[in-house]
Amino acid sequence: MRKDPSTQTPSMPPSPDDHTSEPTPLDPELIQSQANDWLLRITAGDMTPEEADEFKRWCGLSKLHARTFAETSRVWRLIGPAAELSEPPKQQQPPQLSRRRFIAAAAGVAGIAVVAHMGMRSGISLDLDSSIKTARGELRRLDISSDIAVTLNTLTRVELLDTGSSTNQHHLRLLSGEVDVQCSSSFDDVRIHAAGGEIHSTDAHLNIKHINDSVHVTCLQGMAQVSFQGRRESIGPGEQVRYSPSSFSTPVKVDANDVGSWVNRVLVFNDTPLGEVVEEINRYRPGKILLLNSQVAARRVQARFELDRLDEVITLMTSVYGIKSLSLPGSVVVLT
């Protein structure tokens, strides 16, 4: 006899890599049970982005997983308002009891997985190691000198380096994220270090993106030199170089206006898979959009979104591609 989920301690559902407990498409009861476990885990209120990705992988294990989620989401909509109506006055009730009561009512017929809130903090902050970082959705300007300005994109972390060299030489390390660098001096020298490479210029407008182990360096105006693993490439307006631990590309032509559009709080996508569009939007948007439809994720789109209206991508997918949208607490949206 299964215990009442409202009295259980939330625990992580088994990992898809755990073949000893991985359900098969012929085991709907276990799949339903794991969906309930996901709901219990979420109500604990400490779910991480990594666990949100784990949930996405769980939904992709089989069509039955995805269908179970889609069916139980309707139960969420039906039971949720009823559970709230039965709630006693807030001053007499611990904050989580409303959700617990809902789980107890729903667990017998359905399970639902929800991703915890990954909220947006405002402002620019200084980390313990003196690096400067921005929060999700934040864009901030950093004036290194009277002739050099750096704009930090969302979820970006940089470090100003004191090399003890000439006061006309400025060093910046991009630890992660994306920066827009404008240097309008013929004698001030700026060097940006990222993932083992170095970008050098004295009079240029650059966009540098460092996500995971990959670095994209785009020249918007002027000229710059990119050095990595003993190789060097020069790039001019509208040219981009990419490097990673295993590669260093020759310059390629790109649309500089599209690459640097985020400075004007706009994202532009040109022939980009919709799954990549969603991943990029998740860097700016509070919460998370989970696109579970692999066929739609592979479709290439031309799109332009304002940073203050990013939920338009949800409208695009529901109206143009006819997929279903489920809004959950914490600005989480699941598309199936």
CATH of the domain at 301: 3.55.50.30
Taking each continuous run of H as one helix and of E as one strand, the counts in the chain are 8, 20
Q: What contacts 24+ positions apart, CB below 8 Å, involve 140-144?
A: 144/170, 144/172, 144/190
271 and 248, same structural domain? no
255 and 275, same structural domain? no
323 and 242, same structural domain? no
Structural domains counted in the chain: 3
Please give the mean pLDDT across all residues of the chain: 75
239 and 167, same structural domain? yes
148 and 190, same structural domain? yes
254 and 133, same structural domain? yes
Q: How many CB atoms lie within 10 A of CB 101?
A: 18
Domain end among 106, 134, 169: 106
Six token digits for residue 281: 């939007």
Asked whether residue 114 is assigned to any structural domain, the reply reads no
149 and 133, same structural domain? yes
**Nearest CA among 110, 135, 108, 106 for reference residue 120:** 135
CATH number of the domain that 249 lies in? 2.60.120.1440
Domain end among 41, 74, 106: 106
pTM: 0.64
> With 70 as the cut, is the pLDDT of residue 26 above it?
no
Who has greater pLDDT, 215 or 330?
Answer: 215
Can you point out the beta strands (E) in the chain? 124-126, 132-134, 140-143, 148-152, 157-161, 169-184, 189-194, 197-201, 203-211, 214-222, 224-228, 231-235, 239-244, 247-248, 252-253, 266-273, 288-291, 300-306, 325-328, 332-335
Asked whether residue 115 is assigned to any structural domain, the reply reads no
- pLDDT above 90 covers what percent of the chain? 37
pLDDT grade, residue 293 (50/70/90)? Answer: confident
Contact call for residues 117 and 287 (beta carbons, < 8 A): yes
Q: What is the pLDDT of residue 127?
A: 46
101 and 18, same structural domain? yes
* pLDDT (mean) for 74-85: 45
241 and 274, same structural domain? no
Who has greater pLDDT, 118 or 88?
Answer: 88
* Range with the poorest average pLDDT among 51-65, 90-104, 213-227, 285-299: 90-104
Range of the domain at 311: 265-335
Domain end among 259, 274, 294: 259
Asked whether residue 118 is assigned to any structural domain, the reply reads no
